[in-house]
Structure 1
Amino acid sequence: MTIIDRTTVDEQDFNTLIPVDCRNVMDDMTASLDRIAESPVEGAVHIPQYPWMFDDEGLNHGRHPVPVRSIVEKLHESLVQASGEVPLLFDDEQQFFHTRLYYLFRLYGLDAMLWNDSVDSLETLSTSFGSTTPALPGPNQSRTGDYSDVQIGLLVLMEDVKEAVHDEDVLLIDVRSRERYLGLEEPIDRKMGHIPGAVNIPYGSFFTAGRMDFASHEHMRHFLDSFKEIIVYCGSGMSATPPFLVLQEMGLPVRLYGGSFSEWITDDNNTIETGDAPLNERILSLNE
């Protein structure tokens, strides 16, 4: 079992788990450190976003590129100091920094566990963890690795998406807010709208009471099962990781578009749609 919560905690040997605090404020290191200082978890090591969760010299473009293998491996190596130890990643409720790091570890075949519950519930277990807090390496690390290093079944690049928009057997899911999907507003990126043909299943719908809900989209299973592949994306590939995990836990053939919408718009040859895609009407009817 790699995703745990308070209901499955008794099945784990906490002495082998390294608590990894992934709480952050997007693109703001100072605010991130202030957030941790407000409610530190004893024995946990905090992971900054850069370069461990995204890196300018990563595999794709957009706002938050996927780091290359050497960066992710170096971080994992610093966390796991003894045989049998496994990082346990946690975050605030309904957040995505822990799921992003969990996804990156899996992308490169590295062991990790994910805490799908509140920080408060984890704090009650803090005395069960080992006594050693790992030290992180410095951010100035060599970058080696390319797309051939990743678990291909987990990641797609922009060229893959360019083909997918013409394939009726592939479903593109945009998990941003409905307003951003429709092209009514865009607070971050320079263009508005969505990748052609994509449907909109907003981020928040994958959670119940702040936790990823792996049964949240069972009512859509027949629809989702009708596609040979599902590609999920957001603005930059960060917040799409919880929806990716929910869909994967459902047993669906899902991959993450690492560059997401912020990379898609870097190529002016890529078209953008606004308003509802015809297929999205089926999504809306399923949610009524």
Structure 2
Amino acid sequence: MTQLIDAPSLAAALAEQPTARIPLRVLDVRWKLGGPPGRDEYAAGHIPGAVYVDLDTELAGHGLPTDGRHPLPAVDDFRDAVRRWGLDDGDDVVVYDDASGTSAARAWWLLRHAGFESVRLLDGGLAAWRAAGGAIETEPTIPEPGTAAVAWGAMPTIDADAAAAFPESGVLLDARAGERFRGEVEPVDPRAGHIPGAVSAPTTGNLADDGTLLPADALADRFAALGVTPDAPVAVYCGSGVTAAHEILALEEAGFAAALYPGSFSAWSNDDDRPVATGA
């Protein structure tokens, strides 16, 4: 099943909601590295009925630098957030942002990890919605609290030790920009470079010019060229576990299951005992 929904299909599904058997919940996950939070953008205009989700406070925990910049939230904290968004078990959920899905995919991954079976990303995000003539509202949506149950474990993860050993038996993809992988620049983390043995696979390479995800066959070709095969395990990291979720979604569209290293390079580079490689 595709992990995507296009703007016309979302508009049609929202129009059917008064008589729909399964409730459709829309989450606005606008976020930018370094801030400010996307709440002001949400207030300026969002998809009707969408609930704002704060990535830094609701889709991430906080700990030591060696835990990374966006460690997974505690399961109880995420359960409380999910209920604040009005979600119940069995709801159909759509997430979106204004960054081609690269931040909203974090919500997609966490909801899947928490046991939600129907979670889709709005392909092309808010830009695609506007281009399709979708309505915009400015009044915030404050839902009735939901009752959803949350339990971690539905999506695979790896820790730093597993990431270190992963290239020996599988493919470890680095979803950051190529210049960060090569160690030419590092705007936020203490050391520049990448986990030894990782393969550079910028998540932007999964996108078409209009910000939508490439077709499944094109994604499959891309990942095959990076060494991904049906017979070898795959794991993904990025700077802090956000855009890596987008790459995992793209891998699913291409027919591959992949694990997430949640701490990602922000955790790895804060541990002086972990080696860092540079260059292509």
Q: Where on the TM-score scale, by shorter chain, does this alignment land: which range?
A: 0.7 to 0.9
Number of the residue aligned with 1:22: 29
Q: CA deviation at 1:174?
A: 0.9
Mapped to 2, the partners of 1:22 and 1:197 lie a distance apart of 32
C-alpha displacement of 1:272: 0.7
Equivalent residue, structure 2, for 1:242: 246
Shift in alpha-carbon separation, 1:20–1:10, aligned structure 2, 3 A: closer
Deviations 1:119-174 (A, max 9, x none): 255465559xxxx741679xxxxxxx9xx9322x5211112112214x1x211111
SS in 2 for 1:224: coil
Contact 1:88 1:114 (C-alpha < 8 Å) held by counterparts? yes
- The alpha carbon displacement at 1:190 in A equals 0.8
Alpha-carbon separation, structure 2, partners of 1:22 and 1:4 = 16
Query: Using a 3 Å threshold, how does the CA distance of structure 1 residues 241 and 33 change in structure 2: closer, same or farther?
Result: same
On the 8 A contact 1:20/1:88 being kept in 2, the answer is: yes
TM-score of the superposed pair, with normalisation by structure 1: 0.78
Helix, strand or coil at the partner of 2:173: strand
CA–CA distance in 1 between the matches of 2:231 and 2:188? 31
Q: Which residue of 1 aligns with 2:49?
A: 43
Amino acid at match of 2:160: M
Deviation at 1:36, TM superposition (A): 2.0
Map 1:246-285; keep pairs closer than 5 Å.
Answer: 246-276=250-280
Q: How many angstroms does 1:23 deviate by?
A: 1.1
Gaps of 5+ in 1: 138-144, 277-288
Instruction: Say whether the 8 Å CA contact 2:219–2:253 is kept in structure 1.
Output: no
| Equivalent position SS for 1:192 | coil
Paired residue secondary structure (1:43): coil
TM-score, L = length of structure 2: 0.80
- Cα distance, 1:97 vs structure 2: 2.0
Count of residue pairs brought into register by the alignment: 259
Are residues 1:229 and 2:259 paired?
A: no
Rounded Cα–Cα distance in structure 1 between residues aligned with 2:88 and 2:189? 43
- Name 1:186's counterpart in structure 2: 186
Any idea what SS the aligned residue of 1:24 has?
coil
> Residues 165-208 of structure 1: CA distance to partner in whole angstroms, max 9, x if unpaired?
4x1x2111111111111111111111011000111111210111
Amino acid at match of 2:200: N
Give the 3 Å change call, closer, same or farther, for CA 121–133 of structure 1 in structure 2: farther
Worse overlay, 42-51 or 82-91: 82-91
Residue 266 of structure 1 deviates from its aligned partner by 2.4
CA-atom RMSD in angstroms: 3.0
Counterpart in the other structure of 1:160: 162
**Unaligned stretches of 5+ residues in structure 2:** 18-22
Is the 2:29–2:38 contact (alpha carbons within 8 Å) kept by the matching residues of 1? Answer: no
Match among 63, 72, 84 for residue 78 of structure 1 = 84
Which of the residues 110, 124, 128 maps onto 1:104?
A: 110
The percent identity for this pair of structures is 26
Tell me if the contact between 1:192 and 1:274 (Cα under 8 Å) persists in the aligned partners. yes
2:205 corresponding residue in structure 1:
205
* SS of 2:57 mapped into structure 1: coil
Q: Output the amino acid matched with 1:94.
A: S
